[in-house]
Amino acid sequence: MNKQASRFSGALMVLMLTLAVIVAPAAAQDPTPVPPDGASITWTSVQPEVRPFSPEMVANLEVPAGFEVTIFAEGLENPRMMVLGADGTVYITRRINGDVVALRDADGDGVSDGTVVVASNLPLVHGITIQENRLLLAANRTLYAADINADGSLTEPQVMISDFPESGQHSARTMAFGPDGMLYINFGSTCNACGESNMENATIVQVQPDFASRSVFASGLRHTIGFGWHPVTNELWGMDHGIDSLGDDVPPEELNRIEAGSNYGWPFCYGQQVVNTFIAGAPMDMTKAEFCAASAAPVVTYQAHSAPIGMVFYTGSQFPAEYVNDAFVAMRGSWNRSDPTGYDVVRVRFDEAGQPSEFEAFLTGFLIEDGAAVFGRPAGLLVLADGSLLVGDDTNGVIYRVAYTGS
């Protein structure tokens, strides 16, 4: 385990954040640092060492009674987001490789028949979805489209949009079509906590299906990689990443009901409308306290620094009925907390009215050696046609399949 404790005075932290605000004055009216009296931050960088994967490690994974975990595919290096084709082909982006791979399970035995690269030369490709019979791919500045051939291969990807905002710290774009037929894309913040000069950063944008225009749907979202619509209410829900380096347990990861025109507080607020005293300046025409009181608060929060990535609502028929319309979230895991957190998949329980009530562990066991090491970091999630759940590990390149075998 690599462990390095770092202490920042409140004044130094404010100075660092103020520099970012000065670079982007459009988002902050007063960039003058005003450190809180006697304030300080202690945060710790702890990164569990990655152990190479071996098949016997699957036995370390734990799921609820009646479920089992098997290997769907391995050797994929850095798989991230996944989408299911009409013929059952699983398409997966690999951001580091800059390509897209296709996996099939033609005989239905729960194991991929092999991996085929179907698109390449796509630097930082991450988001993936399907529009009719073409695959859409989102890189940090570009949206591509490629037709899906009868054999599952793709035509050469064509550029549909080439003016996404600068990505900075958060280059992982994700996207999905909503019940309204519009395309929604996550544009993360360029920084940890700062003012943004481009108002499309730290937002979810709504894009016309012909890609002719787009607009900001919701703002103040630091990095909502995982989002989706509740199958019954059609409400949009997303998991937002909290600010780094404010302490082990601050701020929490947020599950937000994402509504048109709402602002969710970043960078001036976090959690339940708590004012971030470690960033200088203020929003336009109001104090931070006023801004936070008017911002949209999360409905449920989760342990800080867990790093939510993929999120999917369960609509399959294989799992017990109580899982239907609940959500799964892949927590990739912390790097700046004394005791590592995340490195698992959690279930979000939703009630009959479509409102979330609590998180609970679903797939755990990737952390080993008392938290000193890890053999997997969950990222992408996908429900297959048979109702099983795929979980992608972007560190050792394994795709796990979670199936229900109980009664």
Helical (H) or strand (E) element with 44? strand 40-47
Residue 36 confidence (pLDDT): 52
Evaluated on CA atoms 125, 377, 223, 263, the torsion sign reads positive
> Is the CB of residue 375 less than 8 Å from the CB of residue 368?
yes
Residue 30 confidence (pLDDT): 30
> Is the CB of residue 78 less than 8 Å from the CB of residue 96?
yes
d(CA 268, CA 40): 17
Helix then strand then coil, % of the chain, to nearest 5: 10, 40, 55
State yes or no: pLDDT of 18 exceeds 60: no
> Is the CB of residue 116 less than 8 Å from the CB of residue 101?
yes
Residue 363 CB neighbour total at 10 angstroms: 25
Which position has the higher pLDDT, 36 or 322? 322
Instruction: Tell me which residue range forms the domain holding 147.
Output: 2-404
> pTM for this structure?
0.91
State yes or no: pLDDT of 38 exceeds 90: no
Band (33; pLDDT cuts 50, 70, 90): very low
Q: How many domains does the chain have?
A: 1
The pair of three-digit structure tokens given for residue 262, joined into one six-digit string = 């709402």
Residue 280 confidence (pLDDT): 81
> Is the CB of residue 28 less than 8 Å from the CB of residue 66?
no
Helical (H) or strand (E) element with 274? strand 274-275
Average pLDDT, the chain: 91
State yes or no: pLDDT of 28 exceeds 90: no
State yes or no: pLDDT of 37 exceeds 70: no
State yes or no: pLDDT of 342 exceeds 60: yes
pLDDT in tens, 164-220: 999 999 999 999 999 999 999 999 999 999 999 999 999 999 999 999 999 999 999
Alpha carbon distance, N-terminus to C-terminus of the chain: 41
Least confident of 24-28, 54-58, 292-296, 357-361: 24-28
State yes or no: pLDDT of 75 exceeds 50: yes
State yes or no: pLDDT of 284 exceeds 50: yes
**DSSP, res 341:** -
Residue 162 confidence (pLDDT): 98
d(CA 165, CA 169): 12
Which position has the higher pLDDT, 217 or 31? 217
CATH code, domain carrying 278: 2.120.10.30
Q: How many residues does the chain have?
A: 407
Instruction: Provide the percentage of residues in the chain whose pLDDT is more than 90.
Output: 86
Residue 44 confidence (pLDDT): 74
Amino acid at 20: A
